[in-house]
């Protein structure tokens, strides 16, 4: 499997490298993951597993994904409470997300083959737009944009 790394923003990266601001109480040990609201857990799980190669690590409540309120995805399919980055797909409502609701910043996935992910995303019906030689954006079924960054080299 080609390595794909889910980067949860500069805060997570800086925190993992030891650059996080000191908390007066030190109650926060690390940031765990990113959660997004989705309108259909089964459709979104299919998109993120087939397009990005993420694996289901947990389903809440346990049972079929179509009945889930939350599906937790990781690169390895393993889940722990000690820092494995996660993407949580949470079903809060079947109504479409309100205008502007998907404007959260961005999620970044590092890949050694961004074009392969773009090809799978297009096959899944997603919009893909190239922004630079090393960066492209994929739109998921709920309208969230995911940056696929391929480091030079």
CATH number at residue 143: 3.10.180.10
Instruction: Please give the Cα distance from 136 to 18 (Å, whole number).
Output: 29
- Please report, rounded to a whole number, the percentage of residues in the chain having pLDDT higher than 70: 71
Task: Kindly state whether residue 117 falls inside one of the protein's structural domains.
Answer: yes
For 112-149, write each residue's pLDDT tens digit. 888 889 999 999 999 999 888 888 989 988 888 888 88
Write the CB contacts of 57 (distance below 8 Å, at least 6 apart in sequence): 72, 73, 74, 76, 77, 78, 79, 84, 86
Model pLDDT, residue 153? 77
Task: Kindly state whether residue 85 falls inside one of the protein's structural domains.
Answer: yes
Q: List, in sequence order, every beta strand (DSSP E) within 1-152.
A: 4-7, 33-38, 55-60, 70-74, 86-91, 107-111, 128-132, 135-139, 145-149
What does pTM read for this prediction?
0.61
Instruction: Please give the Cα distance from 56 to 52 (Å, whole number).
Output: 12
Q: Let me know if 4 is exposed, middle or buried by CB neighbors in 10 A (0-12, 13-18, 19+).
A: middle
**Structural domain boundaries, residue 97:** 4-19+31-149
For 24-77, write each residue's pLDDT tens digit. 444 445 556 788 888 889 999 999 999 999 999 999 888 887 888 889 899 999
Model pLDDT, residue 73? 93
* Total number of domains constituting the chain: 1
């Amino acid at each position: 499997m080609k390595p794909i790394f889910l980067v949860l923003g500069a805060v997570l990266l800086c925190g993992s490298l030891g650059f996080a601001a000191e908390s007066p109480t030190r109650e926060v040990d690390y940031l765990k993951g990113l959660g997004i609201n989705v309108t259909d857990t089964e459709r979104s799980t299919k998109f993120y597993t087939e397009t990005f190669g993420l694996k289901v690590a947990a389903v809440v409540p346990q049972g079929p994904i179509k009945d889930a309120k939350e599906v937790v995805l990781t690169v390895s399919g393993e889940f722990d409470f000690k820092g494995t980055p996660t993407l949580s797909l949470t079903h809060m409502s079947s109504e479409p997300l309100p205008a502007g609701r998907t404007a959260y910043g961005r999620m970044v996935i590092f890949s050694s083959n961004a074009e392969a992910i773009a090809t799978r995303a297009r096959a899944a019906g997603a919009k893909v737009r190239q922004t630079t030689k090393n960066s492209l954006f994929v739109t998921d079924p709920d309208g969230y944009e995911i940056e696929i960054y391929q480091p030079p080299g």
